[in-house]
Amino acid sequence: MERKTRTRRPTSAERLAARALGQAEPEEVAVDVTPTAALIAERLTAPRKSAKPAGMQTAEWFALRVRGEAGSPAA
């Protein structure tokens, strides 16, 4: 997954932390950013946590889900 680096102004907490540590206050803070399209593509290609394993009977799978032994039930 591609990552980009962007800069932003430091928050007041970051400025106060730098002062407390005796460091110079940062003028800009570098932040790693992952594009939204890459996050969505990763989510779509990842297997679902509640997906029924191949070769398992559907009735058996639902019985395991009801007992809480296999994945979370779909909302």
Q: For 10-55, what is each residue's pLDDT tens digit?
A: 999 999 999 999 999 999 999 888 788 888 888 888 877 667 888 8
pLDDT reported for residue 42: 85
Who has greater pLDDT, 6 or 50?
Answer: 6
Q: What is the pTM of this model?
A: 0.42
Rounded CA separation 18/25 (Å): 6
- pLDDT grade, residue 75 (50/70/90)? very low
What whole-number distance in Å separates Cα of residue 1 and Cα of residue 47? 17
The pairing of strands 29-33 and 4-8 is: antiparallel
Please give the pLDDT value at position 55.
86
